[in-house]
Structure 1
Amino acid sequence: MRFSVLGSGSKGNSVYIEEGRTAILIDNGFSGKELEQRLSTIGRSLDNLTAICVTHEHNDHINGVGVVSRRCKVPVYANGGTFAGAEKKMGKPFRFIEFGTGDELAIQDLEVRSFRISHDTADPVGFVISNGREYLGYCTDTGAVSKLMELRLARCHGLILEFNHNLDMLKNGPYPLVLQQRVRSSQGHLANEDAGQFLKRLLHRNLKTTVLAHLSETNNTPELALRAAIEAVGSESCGELIVAEQQIPTRLLSLIA
């Protein structure tokens, strides 16, 4: 199984995942043209796509979902709460397939299982994607972590985890108090230190790659996020650490169990 974080942050989010003849997106906050350019960067195209799975209805995750679904004639998978919240922005996709939070989805060569996270939307989810051998966990846009999240992500060979903000930068930055409170709330976003501790609890010897994602451009830096992750895990191995960027995709990463 291979994957690339095509872009991550408040201006747009999308992850590309492939296995055999199957290629899916987790979210798409980019225009069709922008997504096409980003896929081209990793040697892929819109023609590769099989499906789009949606985590929640905020614009930076759904802005281009409808147009890509219609253009590529691929289904959109989302739970009922997310689809209701996204319908006006997304429009009518080529095909909509509703799942219940916690369901396991079979999408050709991939299995996708959703799990509940904590964010200020109708019914936000994370995903674990598997080919039956390797497991990739996706968990961003959550203001708190739970035993359920830890259980679902515990055996993953790859992780995409939110490292949203540095607390000092948020406190001393330009955000008004009400927005600071929203970011720091249990339905907001994870601070670097909290994400680092979560990563520490998820460590196991088969974890190969961790991508630090959804960094705030205003209240964080790649260096601070990496430092928090490294300080949290200490001398324990967490495999390769990569910081996802807003402007460019990561390279196409391979997971081998």
Structure 2
Amino acid sequence: MRYTSLGSGSEGNALVIEARAATQRPTRILLDCGFGVREVVRRLVARGIEPESLDAILVTHEHGDHGSGVARLARRYGIPVHSSHGTGIALRLPDETGVRWRPICSHTRFEINGLDIRPFPVPHDAREPTQFVFSDGRARLGVLTDVGSATPFILDMLTGCDGLVLECNHDPALLAASSYPPSVRARIAGNYGHLSNSAAAAILAAIERDRLKHLHAAHLSRQNNQPELAAAALAAVLNCNPAEILLASQQDGFDWVEI
């Protein structure tokens, strides 16, 4: 199994997960589409992916940086969309002509062409937000972005992953000194907002990490965080050099990683 980020941040998010088998074509899943169709296609092609080859689009929640391009991409290329019921309703997917929406339960695992997908609910200020763990039977990839606080269920779901994409949205001091209105700062820092670097580090410290080979700091705020701060917070938990922490950028995401 391998995965790549097409971009991560408040201006757009998209992640591709690919599971390969010797006897059939790869299964490719697009997790979120917070870019316009032309831009996400450009980013897909840059990773060697034709949009027609996507087997499904999964959506974590309805906020524009994750869901704004979902319906248009799905309609143009005939890609089915999977999301929680609340997310689908918030994105008006049942009303989108030509979109094949497939509601999922945020507590029930399912498969797409042999790729095991385990959704789990998270505290975030959206209709029914969901994050995911993916497995091809040999390796596990955990994705946790857009979450305000940890829960025991989140920690249980992320235990034993080989790869982990983990939100490090903000540094509390930078957020407090930012030009954001007080109400926005409070929302971001709240239990239904986004993870700070230290909160992400606490989650990392609380999960079993014996199999963890690749860790990516994701969804960094351009104004309220700095890459070196996020890397340092996670590296302190792993007792490694901060340079070993991979960063998902807004402009380029990160290239293919195999687990």
TM-score tier by shorter-chain length is over 0.9
Q: Is the 1:142–1:187 Cα contact (8 Å) retained in structure 2?
A: yes
Q: Is the 1:76–1:93 Cα contact (8 Å) retained in structure 2?
A: no
- Secondary structure of 2:30's partner? strand
**Deviation of 1:72 (Å):** 1.4
Q: Is the 2:93–2:99 Cα contact (8 Å) retained in structure 1?
A: no
**Deviation of 1:95 (Å):** 0.6
Identify the residue that residue 257 of structure 2 maps to in structure 1: 253
Report the AA paired with residue 2 of structure 1. Answer: R
TM-score calculated relative to the size of structure 2: 0.93
**Deviation of 1:32 (Å):** 1.3
Following the alignment from structure 1 to structure 2, what is the Cα–Cα distance between the partners of residues 22 and 69? 16
Identify the residue that residue 130 of structure 1 maps to in structure 2: 135
Call closer, same or farther: CA 1:93–1:154 in 2, change over 3 Å: farther
Q: Is the 1:209–1:239 Cα contact (8 Å) retained in structure 2?
A: no
Q: Is the 2:168–2:218 Cα contact (8 Å) retained in structure 1?
A: yes
Match status 1:22 vs 2:27: yes
Call closer, same or farther: CA 1:18–1:93 in 2, change over 3 Å: farther
Match status 1:169 vs 2:195: no
Structure 1 window deviating more from structure 2 (238-247 vs 91-100): it is 238-247
Identify the residue that residue 244 of structure 1 maps to in structure 2: 248
Following the alignment from structure 1 to structure 2, what is the Cα–Cα distance between the partners of residues 34 and 232? 36
**Deviation of 1:249 (Å):** 2.9
Identify the residue that residue 78 of structure 2 maps to in structure 1: 73
Identify the residue that residue 11 of structure 1 maps to in structure 2: 11
Identify the residue that residue 51 of structure 1 maps to in structure 2: 56
**What are the equivalent positions in structure 2 for 1:135-174 lying under 5 Å apart?**
135-174=140-179
Q: Is the 1:27–1:65 Cα contact (8 Å) retained in structure 2?
A: yes
TM-score calculated relative to the size of structure 1: 0.94
Q: Deviations over 1:117-161 (max 9, x none)?
A: 110011111100111111101111000001100101101110111
Unaligned stretches of 5+ in structure 1?
A: none
**Deviation of 1:240 (Å):** 5.0
Identify the residue that residue 91 of structure 1 maps to in structure 2: 96
Call closer, same or farther: CA 1:239–1:137 in 2, change over 3 Å: farther
Following the alignment from structure 2 to structure 1, what is the Cα–Cα distance between the partners of residues 242 and 130? 24
Identify the residue that residue 23 of structure 2 maps to in structure 1: none
Q: Is the 1:8–1:213 Cα contact (8 Å) retained in structure 2?
A: yes
Q: Deviations over 1:92-123 (max 9, x none)?
A: 45311011111111100311110011100111
Q: Is the 1:63–1:90 Cα contact (8 Å) retained in structure 2?
A: no
Structure 1 window deviating more from structure 2 (201-210 vs 182-191): it is 201-210
Identify the residue that residue 187 of structure 1 maps to in structure 2: 192
The equivalent position to 2:221 in structure 1, one of 207, 216, 225, is 216
Identity of aligned residues (%): 36
How many pairs align?
A: 254
Q: Is the 1:163–1:192 Cα contact (8 Å) retained in structure 2?
A: yes
Following the alignment from structure 1 to structure 2, what is the Cα–Cα distance between the partners of residues 200 and 108? 33
- Secondary structure of 1:212's partner? strand
Match status 1:113 vs 2:118: yes
Following the alignment from structure 1 to structure 2, what is the Cα–Cα distance between the partners of residues 223 and 78? 34
Report the AA paired with residue 162 of structure 2. Answer: H
**What are the equivalent positions in structure 2 for 1:198-237 lying under 5 Å apart?**
198-234=203-239
